[in-house]
Structure 1
């Protein structure tokens, strides 16, 4: 494991304080974590609806511009200063590509060929990608055995939801499924990259999120002739989905995700993607009229246990009693 500097070894409470300028309680961090999972789980439905009237490139173009404008408004209201370091802007450009532009395009293109539920389930591989990148490629985090057990439990829960014993739908494009796995690999790379290069830059979670989404939006503006200038067919559902996907799912939620990332580290924060398949199943029932089978709620429980283990929150009872005042 590489040697850590004093700033790298900050306690979680210090990281949470640095992200917003004031201390954040663990209860509020947990709330942000759960809300992030719910909203990002809903994003797959928003993309699927939007693709009925606009192209994959237009979905990404719209969500990044709306997200950038939303975050830019918050930055202007708070008058938060932007960093002046060119090196830092270079790191943020890398993240804009690897955390936004490339995975967003891959997901949007793939969802033309796979269901939103399947896309959300594949998204749950992000913690595995993050663990590999953080532990092996960038060497910024050492996994405890209990965290490894949590990741494995999360995978098991996802498998229970998929129910492979019932047979897999091989009619959905394998290339699209590999594209989604490529997108989650981008997420894993980005989360580890953040930890190594920009987590101690002094930027607030708001400024960091604004630069991440804002630079990505600027890149998409440059690519407008290639990705956005095609005919559209809009209706209220498509417009509403794009607005929610952009302003909320690509705007406000990124601040919450940064707060969680700084408080818990990349591997624990990335377990938010275990919530997304649960949300995907629920939306399939409520919106698409899909039937609920026994394996889906059972899988959801296993996923929740995996999250608790990955965050090292299931303490033995005797230890909990021994720490009471």
Structure 2
């Protein structure tokens, strides 16, 4: 049974998930000091996939019927891992981890727009359309000063992270085809697929054998990305999804930027400008409209 109202256990898992996913932007910032983009992303998804497959094996979820899904796993791995992870890591060369998390929080807006275009049963309602427009205006508020100041590097980096959110939107729609597949298998399969896609890119572009041996902090960041932000995060995500449903799991989108911002301020010396804060508040309001529970609370209860 799905609990529409989350209890203490579900809230604790949701907050932990937001800290773990918010931490991915922090770990990216640390790893970027010593490692190139494709090497970071490949290590994250390959090691994370190994952990997920081990969990699937321990839970007895492995089956031959999943072998026919590898083409779909490759596509899902491309649009849900390889493309967005690479864009986010590349963008963080110029963008602080907290701002990157805020821009990434626009994913629900692009999800509802993509679903409206590509599906027949998830059309836009007025509140979702209004929420998407308000949220996108929040993104414009954050990037507007960079456009006016012609700060090309920063603007391109922010657009890259928004591009990652667009890719996540398409992945959310494409992922509907895995409805009959155990969620843990889907997570393990897509990370394995993205590993296969990223391996040649890493070898050709990064040439990791030419790199010096990374320091301990880089390896700790990679371990955090793989173990915490990939393996543990997917296990938490699908546990909450099973117990509390999709409507409640979307609340993590509100919490991830907060945890990323706090980690960036505490450990990386980052700060946010006023227009970033205004943009974050605007995005949060747009998300609340898309989620719908705020409107439900405001409606008078029928006798």
TM-score > 0.5 by shorter chain: yes
Query: Which residue does 2:107 correspond to in 1?
Result: 126
1:252-307 CA distances to partner (integer Å, 9 max, x unpaired)? 21233345667327xx8667444443333323321233457777667655554444
**Following TM superposition, by how much is the alpha carbon of 1:168 offset from its aligned partner in structure 2, in angstroms?**
6.0
Partner of 1:288: 268
Q: Which of 286, 289, 292 matches 1:309? A: 289
Q: CA 1:156 to 1:286, structure 2 compared with 1: closer, same or farther past 3 Å? A: farther
Structure 2 partner of 1:5 = none
Partner of 1:94: 75
Could you state the TM-score of these two structures normalised by the residue count of structure 2?
A: 0.80
Provide the residue aligned with 2:257 in structure 1: 277
> Corresponding residue for 1:206?
184
**Post-superposition shift, 1:246?**
1.1
Distance between the aligned counterparts of 1:70 and 1:85, measured in 2? 18
Task: Rate the CA distance shift 1:258–1:93 in 2: closer, same or farther, 3 A.
Answer: farther
> Aligned residue for 2:197?
219
Where does structure 2 lack aligned partners over 5 or more consecutive residues? none
Q: CA RMSD, aligned part only? A: 3.5
The yes-or-no answer on 1:80 pairing with 2:57 is no
Higher mean Cα deviation, 229-238 or 299-308? 299-308
Give the match for residue 112 of structure 1. 93
User: Distance in 2 between the 1:223 and 1:293 partners?
Assistant: 36
Match in the other structure for 1:237: 217
1:154–1:303: 8 Å Cα contact kept in structure 2?
A: yes
Corresponding residue SS for 2:153:
coil
Distance 2:120 2:48 in 1: 31
2:51 is aligned with 1:70: yes
Q: 1:224 deviation in Å? A: 5.0
Deviation digits for residues 4-24 of structure 1 (CA, Å, limit 9, x no counterpart):
xxxxxxxxx5xx6xxxxxx89
Q: 1:286 to 1:79 in 2, by over 3 A?
A: same
Please tell me whether the aligned partners of residues 130 and 289 of structure 2 are also in contact (alpha carbons under 8 angstroms).
yes
Q: Deviations over 1:130-157 (max 9, x none)?
A: 1121111234412332333444454466
Check conservation: 2:99, 2:272, Cα contact below 8 A: no
Distance 2:270 2:83 in 1: 31
2:32: which partner in 1?
51
Aligned residue pairs, count: 297
CA contact (8 A) 1:146 1:309 kept: yes
Find the aligned partners of 2:269 and 2:94 in 1 and give their Cα distance: 20
* Cα distance, 1:162–1:83 mapped onto 2, change above 3 Å: farther
1:189 aligns with 2:167: no
Partner of 1:6: none
Decide whether aligned partners of structure 1 residues 261 and 145 sit closer, same or farther in structure 2, where only a CA change above 3 A counts: farther
Q: Secondary structure at the match of 2:65?
A: coil
Indicate the structure with greater helix content: 2
Equivalence map 1:241-256=2 (5 Å): 241-256=221-236
The normalised TM-score by structure 1 is: 0.75
Secondary structure in structure 2 of the residue aligned to 1:179: helix
